[in-house]
Amino acid sequence: MCGFVCLWRAGDEALAKRMIGKLAHRGPDAGGVTRLPEADVVMAHCRLSIIGPEDGAQPILQGDDLLVANGEIYNHADLRAILGEALFRTASDSETILHLFRRAESRWVARLDGMFAFVLATPDRIVAARDPLGIKPLYVARMGDGYAFASELKAFDGIDVEHIDTIPPGCLYDSRDGWRTWFRMPQGAAEPEDTLDEARTAEELRLVLGQAVEKWMVADVEVGAFLSGGLDSSIMAAIAQRQRMRRGMGPLKTFSVGLDGSPDLLAARQVAAHIGSDHREYAFTAQDLADNLSHVIYHLESADVDLVRSAIPNLFAARLARREVKAVLTGEGADELFAGYDYHHAYVDAPRALADELTRALGTMHNINLQRVDRITMAESLEARTPFLDRDLIDFAQSIPATLKLRRTDPNDAEATGPTTEKWILRKACADLLPAALVWRKKAQFDEGSGTVEALQGALATILGSEGPVDRAAEGALYTRLLRERYENPDRILAHAGTWTDARLAV
């Protein structure tokens, strides 16, 4: 996990060093600035060492090719075997990108399985690409006749650029061949075929989940897990714990945060005790929120009220985890795959519309949830991994009919969570992993279950000097002011910030 900058016909080493300095939090273990010989290309990199920690420094210069990459290629061992180990000079998973490119296959980038963003240059060509969901960020800006690429918007702050764009998820830019969409989200299924076996579907989902977690646990350092006490993070932790114990690796380290006595802290303790994880927790206060609000907004690169609220507990979880591990699993993506949000309940009688909405929502995650996860964990030099967004798991989940994700609840069912049950098939698939009370627990948003919303009122009152409740408009105005205070060019940041208002469609 890293941060990088690439200047293609756009600047020199001094500018690259200045820009990468603003991303140093993404990679405290190593860094470097490299020019491609006899070409107007400069790349800078800051590294958080996860795979190949001894010899995986970047930028990677081999012959006439120069590469910077961020993320993890989880099938790198398989690709090495296919490409030939003799080609490789390092143990870094990122080096597979370079050798796949050199094979010049038409869809070489589609063979990369993981979360990634990269820029690769030859003396006369630049190629930039991003993973299917946009888990890892990548921006590009015009600078004169050239381009500047960077992992975060803040790298461009105070820099003279003409225009900034996001490289879309699942897209590739090639200066020789132009833009390509190399990944398209599979369309979600609506209603089951007559032959569908619900029990077997749940069993298969469980197997695919296990494979995803196993793949996303690959690392040369210890991987822990966020544990909010909710269904999604609890499933991830339970599966990872079983896999670690089966390999004799010792208990999984899990991390939970919340206001003292909050539902999330209590539920996480119960889950940790049930699965046998090595659990840590931190109880934050309203003063903690007041002290860190500006820091959260600066790193989040957004002033959206809902995004900021959900980012706050993430910050404390990341700080807690980073004391002991460099990478954690998260439950991000389950709500979009399996209909987990409250607004999805309105679709219970419209399975085709629900399937379409889930497909659409998966395509917007990069600028909302995934922006929060990436920016806030990387602000603390921690890698967050999202096994629910594994490509194979997405393919399978999208083939499951929407009627099995959100279904009306039998009023005589003792496990009922309400008139409708969200994530029904996911709950069925993992019912044996966790206590029944948790498997069928009604979902709470992270900022609500952790007590963030309650504590935030105290923090906002402290900052604003208010004696009464702070309404949403005043809260949003404060977040915007705090963002503007931290950036030389705040309008650039605000122009690219996703919002929850835009992310959810009405039925």
Helix H or strand E encompassing 25: none
Q: Residue 94 half-sphere exposure, CB side, CA atoms within 13 Å?
A: 29
Please check whether residue 345 is in contact with residue 422, taking contact to mean a CB–CB distance below 8 angstroms. Answer: yes
Q: Residue 345, class by beta-carbon neighbours within 10 Å (0-12 exposed, 13-18 middle, 19+ buried)? A: middle
The Cα–Cα gap between 18 and 5 comes to: 10
The Cα–Cα gap between 220 and 52 comes to: 7
**Which tokens is 448 given?**
């609500």
What phi, psi does 32 have (nearest 5°)? Answer: -170, 155
Rounded to 5°, the CA angle 260-264-269 comes to 85
From the list 2, 6, 46, 430, the catalytic residue is: 2
The Cα–Cα gap between 450 and 460 comes to: 17
**Which tokens is 221 given?**
């350092």
**Which tokens is 194 given?**
């007559």
Please check whether residue 5 is in contact with residue 20, taking contact to mean a CB–CB distance below 8 angstroms. Answer: yes
Mark 237-267 as b/e (b = at least 16 C-beta within 10 Å).
bbbbbbebeeeeeeebbbbbbbbeebbbbeb
Residue 308 annotated in ligand binding: no
Is 171 among the residues known to form the active site? Answer: no
What residues does 69 pair with on adjacent strands? 118
Residue 221 annotated in ligand binding: no
Q: Which amino acid is at 183?
A: F
Would strands 125-130 and 171-174 be described as parallel, antiparallel, or unpaired? antiparallel
The Cα–Cα gap between 288 and 270 comes to: 25
Query: Looking at the chain, how many residues does it have?
Result: 507
Secondary structure of 26-43 as H, E, C letters: HCECEEEEEECCCCCEEE
Annotated binding residues, written as ranges, equal 93, 257
Annotated binding residues for ATP, written as ranges, equal 257
Question: Which residues are annotated as catalytic?
Answer: 2
